[in-house]
Amino acid sequence: MQHQEIPHVKRIETSREDAVAFEVTGHITAADVENLYGLLDGIYVVHDKIDLLVLIHHYEGFDWTAAFREGTIAGKTSALKHIRKYAVVGGPSWMSTTLAFFRPFLSIEMKHFALEEQEEAWKWLGAEPRPIE
């Protein structure tokens, strides 16, 4: 029997079509990053502007080589054109500092929330997670 890797990036259904959320867990690989940008590209076809929430928990690291791959850089560039609000919930302690550093250079409203502030992040985004039916 072949061992199947559990996806580290999962989409969370939301109460608004133009509000997109992802749950990120474990060690993030290049394949996870490419999957995330692929999902976002599909959403941009339907919605030119979106609000994005990324929930990070049980973080175990990031494959930094993924950040500098050509496809990842193209995905980031594309994302910058389409995101209005970007909420990051949880993650490592450096996440808040990183968002604060980039905030003045981007037209995206960005905010970091502690994991226990998840409800506040959803309110800031103006959406709610929708239970899986």
- Per-residue pLDDT of 33-49, as tens digits, reads 788 888 888 898 899 99
Dihedrals φ, ψ of 74, to 5°? -65, -40
CATH of 9-125, one of 3.10.20.30, 3.40.50.1370, 3.30.750.24, 3.40.50.720: 3.30.750.24
pLDDT at 115: 94
C-alpha distances (whole Å) from 23 to each of 2, 20, 26, 30, 101 are 25, 11, 10, 16, 23
Give the alpha-carbon dihedral of 104, 111, 59, 47, to 10 degrees. -90
pLDDT tens-digit readout, 80-126: 789 999 999 998 888 888 888 877 777 889 999 999 999 999 999 99
Residue 91 Rama label (left phi>0; alpha psi -120 to 50; beta) = left
pLDDT at 60: 83
pTM score of the predicted model:
0.83
Helix, coil or strand: residue 85: strand
> CB count, 10 Å around CB of 20?
24
- Alpha-carbon distance of 104 to 43, in angstroms, equals 26
Give me the residue spans of the domains in the chain.
Answer: 9-125
pLDDT at 48: 92
Q: Does residue 3 surpass a pLDDT of 50?
A: no
> Residue 115 gets which letter from DSSP?
G
pLDDT tens-digit readout, 90-103: 988 888 888 888 77
